Chain A
């Protein structure tokens, strides 16, 4: 895609859609303005990493012609359906959409009702109830109103109260260079967000009586959780809307840019990002397995299947036009994973272990060890638990991995591993080592890997650090590299998936 400036593209499109956009009606102006905004929007989507082609761009323009301007949900659906072709990209799309179209709308006519101020009728009601406008409410009154809105799930009221809470508690100042999350947590803390769940449950009990049984209680709790999430979203949206007003659309979109899920760096992932990644493990491995099975079937032809060939020849009068082949049964590799679980690389190791175990049907056997300066086999946790998540939790709490001081010592860990398990390694075994090779200036003991690799089918090393950091400071990867069949940078899901499908299963 040539890097056209989006203003140029917009001008081009205005020519194309000239009849409509050029008309002197208000709607015509609105459309023309919309085309400009849309080009900026698409430009930003591309900057956020979404692949938007020219065809899709044109489709989006055609699509919004058919959508009534007032229907925000349909408008969003139209842009989504034409521009976003991958579900993982949807959150990025939504963020950019909010930034571009939640505040800008006023420019081409009143698209949203929600931009309006508080409905006078409601205001009156509230005044009657509380004896004052919102601005005069005390802190307790606001909290009470919020609680009521949450209990009755009054969406409109909730939105208004969220806006009010932001005005009061976020302490937003124009031009202040802090991110939206700062304001979000300020507001939520002032609202006592964490204590709200208990108050809601208490309120529900007072109104409807105690839940009949544990199940009801659990369901009620989930429902309240859901409502609180909704409140949080409202507050977040309100803050974002105001920030856009303050800083302008383009700047805001830039600060909100997030890596797509498959590009999130393991070593710097936030908790929420890690949770999203973990949730994607099962669907992902299932997809990967289906794909691998398919590929394996097609890749090698086996020997001629005489019986099937004769059968097929019958439809051509006995001439064997279509030879049939047997599908070979490929041997499944046996996997040994040896993972460093010290501080900085722990989340990477945990995630990779989960991934490997979720894929375990592709391997004849999976065994795993974790180490810091001591090494411990953890296969038993996975065998016993049956649930990968639980097993990883037990690995963290129960594995015996500290030998002297709890600082990574690759040399010692490899030596112990070598002494204990060398005899168990067969020519069918692939060994995968996970770690950043930061050895705290201990001895490397690289000969152990050489010995291991001699017996094993393959030995790979996955490093979660960027390639440019390798061999800097106390990282001694290059001492191990000569004894590995491959050393791979594995910073995100995309790279991990690539490694498993291209290297482990296919060789």
Chain B
């Protein structure tokens, strides 16, 4: 089938046009995912744009985004497909009522009630049966139990679903598949083997500044630079939860609403709670940022 991207640079450019600023690593892996037709497992701290990547790709390739949000207790019936029991019951009942002689034989009914029209498709099956281009996002896959992971394997490696009553349904096209994980548990080897692996980390200074500028277009260059620098310094502290990109953006917006033009220690102190969510972290950052001559970071 036709490839979605020409080169690695093409990936970067088109993601940029969707307001997502990738680094070289991200673009390369997306490019490979397209060429090798393999799913991508995206890991990294919360709020660095893992989900956003899939959304941006859907936008830029003009695909429909199908999203499967994983949670504890997710099962086949909610991820793949389910038989519509109620409709099946109605079908059997109506048969009995309309025809007192017991018209349709059991085999007829059986083949009837296990047909397409009694099938409820769930995200994975929907992605397989779709005709238009698809980006499939399986979000927070580390939340499902390890046994449930197995349910994804067939879809991920062969892009097909076996339904005992209907046979195997094979995908018409290969969508781009993204799995995200916050790494709350180790995923199984079998799952990892089937995927390309991409670790997204906090961005470096320049990229973060650029992200702020793209996401908060009204901000001026100098302030964006300052914001990125403060965030970098804050991330170097040992915190319970380092600020994510989304929190950086929130902070930049806050500053904008407050009409701040240049940052100073006081403003940072007053707005730190946008960036950090633990009281102990806020206090630590406040203390650290107030003293300019902090201990040098151990080299």
Residues on A facing B (Cβ under 8 Å): 51, 53, 55-56, 59, 62-63, 66-68, 71, 73-74, 77-78, 80-82, 84-87, 90, 193, 197, 211-219, 221-223, 225-226, 228-229, 232, 271-272, 275, 278-279, 282-283, 286-287, 290-291, 294, 297-298, 386-387, 389
* Among candidates B24, B72, B264, residue contacting A294 with C-beta atoms closer than 8 Å: B72
Verify if B236 is at the interface (C-beta below 8 Å from A).
Answer: yes
A74 and B197 contact, Cβ closer than 8 Å, known pairs A229-B299, A287-B183: no
Distance in Å: Cβ of A495 to nearest Cβ of chain B: 16
B266-299 toward A: CB 8 Å interface, digit per residue (1/0)?
0010000000000010011000011111101111
Most chain A CB atoms below 10 A, which of B7, B184, B268: B184
Q: Is the CB of A219 within 8 A of B145?
A: no
- Chain A to chain B contacts (Cβ below 8 Å), 14 pairs: A62-B36, A63-B32, A63-B36, A71-B8, A77-B25, A77-B28, A77-B29, A211-B292, A213-B264, A215-B264, A219-B226, A221-B294, A287-B184, A386-B280
Given the complex, which residues of B lie within 8 Å of A217, measured CB to CB? 292-293
Residues on B facing A (Cβ under 8 Å): 7-8, 24-25, 27-29, 31-32, 35-36, 38, 40-41, 43-45, 72, 145, 183-186, 189, 192-193, 195-199, 205, 226, 229-230, 232-233, 236, 238-241, 263-265, 268, 280, 283-284, 289-294, 296-299
Q: Is the CB of B299 within 8 A of A294?
A: no
Q: Is the CB of B233 within 8 A of A87?
A: no
Report the bound CA distance from A408 to B132 in whole Å: 72
Q: Is the CB of A73 within 8 A of B24?
A: yes
* Among candidates B28, B196, B240, B292, residue contacting A221 with C-beta atoms closer than 8 Å: B292
A271 and B192 contact, Cβ closer than 8 Å, known pairs A81-B32, A214-B291, A221-B292: no
Closest-by-CB residue of A relative to B191 is: A85
Main secondary structure of the interface of A (DSSP, over half): helix
Q: Is the CB of A290 within 8 A of B24?
A: no
* Among candidates A66, A197, A278, residue contacting B31 with C-beta atoms closer than 8 Å: A66
A81 and B197 contact, Cβ closer than 8 Å, known pairs A222-B229, A222-B236: yes
* Among candidates A59, A214, A290, residue contacting B185 with C-beta atoms closer than 8 Å: A290
Report the bound CA distance from A290 to B182 in whole Å: 11
Q: Is the CB of B291 within 8 A of A219?
A: no
Q: Is the CB of B298 within 8 A of A275?
A: yes
Q: Is the CB of A81 within 8 A of B198?
A: yes
Q: Is the CB of A214 within 8 A of B292?
A: yes
Closest-by-CB residue of B relative to A224 is: B296
Q: Is the CB of A282 within 8 A of B240?
A: yes
A279 and B238 contact, Cβ closer than 8 Å, known pairs A66-B35, A286-B184: yes
Q: Is the CB of A74 within 8 A of B298?
A: no
Q: Is the CB of A213 within 8 A of B184?
A: no
Distance in Å: Cβ of B39 to nearest Cβ of chain A: 11
Q: Is the CB of A222 within 8 A of B233?
A: yes
Closest-by-CB residue of B relative to A63 is: B32
Closest-by-CB residue of A relative to B3 is: A66
Q: Is the CB of B36 within 8 A of A222?
A: no
Q: Is the CB of A213 within 8 A of B265?
A: yes
Q: Is the CB of B24 within 8 A of A74?
A: yes
* Among candidates B29, B183, B205, B284, residue contacting A283 with C-beta atoms closer than 8 Å: B183
Q: Is the CB of B226 within 8 A of A66?
A: no
A223 and B292 contact, Cβ closer than 8 Å, known pairs A85-B197, A213-B265, A387-B280: no
Q: Is the CB of A90 within 8 A of B199?
A: yes
Given the complex, which residues of A lie within 8 Å of B193, measured CB to CB? 53, 55-56, 85
Q: Is the CB of B263 within 8 A of A215?
A: yes
Q: Is the CB of B192 within 8 A of A85?
A: yes
Closest-by-CB residue of B relative to A285 is: B240
Given the complex, which residues of A lie within 8 Å of B197, measured CB to CB? 80-82, 84-86
